[in-house]
Amino acid sequence: MESWDLRTLEIEPHHPRILHSSLGEARSIAIRLPAGEALGDHQVHEYAHLIVISGDVQVRHGDEETQASTGFMAIFDPGERHAVRALTDTRLLLILAPWPGDGHPGARF
């Protein structure tokens, strides 16, 4: 078993920390966003499971915006465009599955 306390884990801003990555399964990434910073508009080849560990965020998907805080979870479909902006200092957990997704440059199977 591997385990982490995501509330206190050392994560440098602008340096996401890959906690686990298994080909054909999933990739788990811990992210720290200081207040006012953002994961700009983007899309991924996998399902993206976004969990707010602490803090407050604004999540944009399509024309919709949602304000959320600790405990919030959202799942984006592969190819669905989205953005996340930290309203306060924020810790996120991002799970991409399956890893890598169809069309991802690293996909080999």
The string of pLDDT tens digits covering residues 51-86 is 999 999 999 998 999 999 999 999 999 999 999 999
Tokens 């707010």, residue? 52
CATH of the domain spanning 19-97, picked from 3.30.1490.100, 3.20.20.100, 2.60.120.10, 2.120.10.30: 2.60.120.10
* Of residues 72 and 98, more confidently modeled: 72
pTM, two decimals, is 0.89
Going from N- to C-terminal start, the domains of the chain cover 19-97
Predicted pLDDT of residue 108? 54
